[in-house]
Structures are given as structure tokens and as C-alpha cells.
Amino acid sequence: MRRCSRVRCSGSAEVAATAARTRPRLVLETLLILGISLGKSAVYSILNIINRLTYQVPLSEQTSTMNSAVTPDRPWLDLAYQLANNLLPFCAPFLAIYLLWRIWPPGPSPWRAIGLDGRRVGRDIALGVGLALLILGPALGFYLLARQLGINTTIVMADLGSDWWTIPMYCLAAFQNGFLEEVVMIGYLTTRWRQSGWHPGAAIAVSALIRGSYHLYQGFGGFISNLVFGLLLGWLYQRTRRLWPLVIAHTVIDITAFVGYSLLAGVVGWL
């Protein structure tokens, strides 16, 4: 049996010791990223569902409003509010990417390591749009079923009025949701937890559970559908190692929901 040289063995031991010291710090890092972004949203969403369940009105008769106007009587100021609401959340995913670059990087480029580079633009777009088309129908059907079962609120997807900037703002909100959630919940968390020694399946499951939790404000239907959505996206990411298709699919789904609701809410009664 060949013995390794003293230098080689010493180097391997040093790398292993560094990894052992770094892993707990990476878990702490993920908790801090969650604490300033979607983990914080999950905490408030849990409090929100407790408030809804202890309210006098049944859950099925309550409403959850997204993309609501802040100052509808002053559209110029409302535009400023909406820009702030939809641009500031980008800080969290970019911070996550920065940390992947500066602290125990998973590769020479964090963008490439998590599948956010531009190597497969056409394939990423096709996969993302196709995934969105496959999900939209079942997602709408489950939402309507959850309402009928009394486990979900009625969701008002769009409530910004009819100013010239309304539809572009819905599109920006959709991209912000997709980029924030998929970069943090899939690309960043699963990478860091894998570096920390987690089994990939456990990382996907915990990420999906958190995703479902920050949608609890919608009701238990929102929790279940987003839990399943997170498991599906996590599984797909493990197979392809491409994050752009997930961001694109999420964005297309939200654009369809926001813009579609704004155009059809007064026409289609079951929305």
C-alpha cells in the first residue's frame, strides 16, 4: 500500500479541519439570510394565519390582497412606493450570491455554480416556460378546490388601479418574486446546506417547508400548493443544476396570475 507524503496528508487534514470549522458558520449564514428575507416572511405569515383562525370570520370568507395600492389618490407617489417594494427585495438574493463568492465558494463563479450564468439561454427559457404551462392549470384548480373546502382565503392578486405603469409593475413584482425565492430558497440554501453536509433530499424538503410557511397568510391551500411547488422545483434543480428555468417559470406563473386577474376579475365571477 502506498503511503501518502507527510505534506499531502497534512494538507488533506488541514482542509478537512477547515471544512469542519466552516460548516456550522455556513448554517448560521443561511439562518441570517433567511432572517432578513423569506424566513422573516414565514414568521409573520404564521402569525397571520393564527390571527385569521382566531378571528370571528371563517377563513374561507376572508381575503388576502397582493400588489395593493398604498396611496391610490396620488398615483405618482404610489408608483414610488411600488418601485421601492419591488426593488429593495433584490438585495437579499444578491447578498446571497455575494456570500457564495466570498465565503467558501462552491466554484470559480457563483453564478455558474448555482446555474444563473448565460450558457444555455434558449434551453433555460424553453424549460422555464414549459414548466410554467404545466403548473398553471393544476395550481388554479387546487386554489379553487381549497376555497371550496374552506381552507383558503380568497386571493386578490392585483389591486393597483389602472395607471399606465400598473402592468409593468405587475411584471416587475413577478420577476422580483421569482428571482428572490428561487435564488435564496433553491440556489443558495441547497448549495450552502450541501456544503454543510446535509443530504440533498433534506435540503430540498426543508426549503420547501419554509416556502410553504411564508405562504400561510393565504391559508392552508397556499401552504400545501407552495410546499409541493418547492419540492418539484428542488427536485428539478438537483437534476439540471440550472436555476434560470425556475426563475423564469416562477415569473411566468406570477405574471399570468397578476395580469390575468387585473384583466378578468370584473368579468369572471369565480376569481
User: What's the rounded Cα separation, in Å, for the pair 65 and 139?
Assistant: 18
Q: pLDDT of 72-82, one tens digit each?
A: 999 999 999 99
User: Does a structural domain hold residue 269?
Assistant: no
Pure H helices in the chain? 6-35, 38-53, 75-87, 91-102, 110-113, 121-149, 166-181, 189-195, 200-213, 220-240, 244-264
The reported pLDDT for the residue numbered 265 is: 84
Domain count, the chain: 1
The reported pLDDT for the residue numbered 14 is: 45
Judge whether residue 10 has pLDDT over 60. no
User: Does a structural domain hold residue 157?
Assistant: yes
User: Does a structural domain hold residue 6?
Assistant: no
User: What's the rounded Cα separation, in Å, for the pair 271 and 262?
Assistant: 10
Q: pLDDT of 169-213, one tens digit each?
A: 999 999 999 999 999 999 999 999 999 999 999 999 999 999 999
User: Does a structural domain hold residue 21?
Assistant: no
User: Does a structural domain hold residue 136?
Assistant: yes
Domain that holds residue 99: 38-264
Length of the chain in terms of residues written? 271
User: Does a structural domain hold residue 162?
Assistant: yes
User: Does a structural domain hold residue 28?
Assistant: no
User: Does a structural domain hold residue 121?
Assistant: yes
Confidence of residue 163 (pLDDT cuts 50, 70, 90): very high
Span 14-29, average pLDDT: 73
Confidence of residue 270 (pLDDT cuts 50, 70, 90): confident
